[in-house]
Structure 1
C-alpha cells in the first residue's frame, strides 16, 4: 500500500484574464533595466522547450535562489484529486544554473505574449528582473520566481514526499515525472549542475519501477 499523501483541500487553477495578463506584461517590460536587451532566464521547461528562436543564448547563473518543486499543479501535469508539483525558483543560498535567452527585437511582442500566456497563466509566479551572471558578464533578465502567496504554493517539501507526489500525478499534458525527466536530460545536454533534482528523478524512477 502506498503511503498517504496529504493534499490540501480546494486546490484549483484560476486563469488570469487576458487584460490582467497583458497589463502585467506591460508593467514588467516598462521596468526593464535595458529596453534594448530583453533577456529571459530559463531554469525549467524553457531549457528544453523555449518555443522561440533567441537572438543569443548564454549559460547563466542566478544567485541566492534555488530550484524547487514548490507549487501544486491541477491541470497540465496533475488533477485536483492527484495534483502534481510545478517547478519554480525560491530565495535561498543558491545558485541556480540555467540558460539566458536574449529575445530578438523582431517579433518581440509576440514572444513575450506567448511567454506570459505560458508562465503567467494563473499567477503562480512573479516575473522579476534579476541580475544574472554569465561568462560574458552580468545581465538583467526576467525570472519567473515562485509566488509564495499563491493558494497553490506547497512550500519546501521533503525529497521523498516530492518523489511520491510527482510519481503518481498525471494531467492533460502527461505525467508529472516526464517534465523532470526532460529537465534532467537538459542538465546533461548543457552541463548544468543540479544534483538535488537528479537525485529526485532517480528516486521517482525507483518508485515507478516498484509500482510496475
Structure 2
C-alpha cells in the first residue's frame, strides 16, 4: 500500500474502539463474510445509498482496502444507488488526501475513477450507478444499506442473499460550509474504522 495511505491507517483509523452499539450493527456483515470464507466462496458486497455519490463509495473503497490489509481472499466490493448521479468531488478529494491515487478515466457528468491503494493491486472502479447496474453482482451478495432513505425506499433488493443496514450520517449536510473538509474527513475515517473492524474479525 502507498505510504501515505498506511500512515492514515496507522495514525487515524481507530477500529479498536468501536462502540458496543455499532458492533451489534456490524456483526451481520462479519457473519456474512465469515460464512463465505468458511465455504470457500467469493465475498460479494454491494454498498447501497440513495445517489451513490458519497457514503456508499466511501464504504466500498474502504471495505476493499480493509480486505486487502487483513488478507481476506476473494473479496469484491461494489456500490450503487436507487438512482445514478455522480461521485461527489469532495469524496474524491478526501480519498486523495488520505493516500489513495485517483485517475479519472471518464470525463462526463458522471466521471469514472480508477482508485488505487497500491501499485500492484487492481484499482477500485468508482462511478455512480443504480444498485442493479450490470457492473454489480446480480446474486449471492450482501446488500449493505448505508443510508436510511435507500433502506426505506428499497424494501427488497433483487438477488441479495442478505440485507444489512449500516447507516451513516450524510456528509452532504456540510456542503458549502467552512466545516466541509473536516466533516468529509471524519465520515471517511468513521467508515474506514468500521470496515477495518469488520475485516479484523474474520478468521481465515
State if a TM-score over 0.5 links the two structures: no
TM-score calculated relative to the size of structure 2: 0.27
User: Which protein has greater RCO, CA pairs closer than 8 Å, 6+ apart?
Assistant: 2
Q: Which is higher, the Rg of structure 1 or of structure 2?
A: 1
More helix by share: 2
Which structure carries more strand by proportion?
A: 1
